[in-house]
Amino acid sequence: MRTIAWLGAREANERMPGGLAVGRAAVRRTVNDGPPRPPARIHVLDRPTPRTAAISWSDPGVCHYGYQIWDMVPAKRTGTCVLSGSAIQVGDIVYCPREEEAPVNVGAMIAAAFVDA
């Protein structure tokens, strides 16, 4: 029932049960009444072009992308690198998931230094 409610809320861009906003601005997480889940497992798989990276993203209970293309762009907001935990400032060069298909992890960023290393 929770999944059906989530899908319906996502379509309508409303709030999920429990008050979590369903928007595209941040990495979405499902309501979880149990112990905290482990963090997402993120791996840089490939560099198809100098300005793209292929990322494997697995977040238990939320989503799995085996080969997701991320683009190199200047950061539009402050945030935290999902690989290193380092701070990201507006204008820093980062990789972000492509938004054409509205992925669940659309708000995530990886500092370019950690992809290029």
**For 4-53, what is each residue's pLDDT tens digit?**
665 555 444 444 444 444 444 344 444 445 667 788 999 999 999 999 99
Hey, how many other C-beta atoms are within 10 angstroms of the C-beta on 94?
Answer: 25
**For residues 73-87, average pLDDT:** 95
Alpha carbon of 90 to those of 22, 24, 35, 48, 106: distances in Å? 24, 18, 33, 25, 17
| Band of pLDDT at residue 116, cut at 50, 70 and 90 | confident
- Distance between CA 1 and CA 61 in Å, rounded? 15
Residue 84 · residue 61 · CB < 8 Å: no
- Distance between CA 51 and CA 26 in Å, rounded? 22
- Does 114 have pLDDT greater than 70? yes
**Helix residue ranges per DSSP H, the chain:** 2-12, 112-116
What pLDDT shows up at residue 36? Answer: 74
